[in-house]
């Protein structure tokens, strides 16, 4: 938190909050159901693009989906 210049008290409070922990667990479960295996993951018209990708990869997928 300190390295990112975050409010350390707010960060610690958030990390200790069971509600926040549940939100993270819910997000993990939702991602698992959707087939997300890594981050970042992007979905374009139902097509998954995993990992940090160059703009060209997004453009190719978008163009491919638009041509359908």
Check whether residue 5 and residue 19 sit in a common domain: yes
What 8-state DSSP symbol labels residue 68? Answer: -
What's the CA gap between 17 and 14, in Å, rounded? 5
pLDDT (0 to 100) of residue 1: 86
Question: Along the 68 residues of the chain, how does pLDDT read in single tens digits?
Answer: 889 999 999 999 999 999 999 999 999 999 999 889 888 999 999 999 999 999 999 999 999 999 99
Check whether residue 29 and residue 41 sit in a common domain: no
Check whether residue 67 and residue 41 sit in a common domain: yes
Domain count, the chain: 2
Quote the domain boundaries for residue 14: 1-34
Cα-based distances in Å from 49 to 6, 28, 29, 32, 53:
30, 18, 19, 15, 8
Check whether residue 46 and residue 67 sit in a common domain: yes
Check whether residue 30 and residue 46 sit in a common domain: no
Check whether residue 29 and residue 3 sit in a common domain: yes
* Bridge partners (DSSP) listed for residue 43: 48
């Amino acid at each position: 938190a300190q390295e990112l210049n975050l409010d350390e008290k707010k960060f610690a409070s958030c990390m200790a909050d069971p509600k926040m922990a549940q939100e993270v667990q819910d997000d993990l479960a939702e991602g698992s159901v959707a087939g997300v295996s890594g981050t970042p993951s992007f979905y374009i018209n139902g097509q998954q693009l995993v990992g940090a990708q160059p703009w060209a990869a997004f453009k190719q997928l978008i163009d491919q989906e638009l041509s359908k």
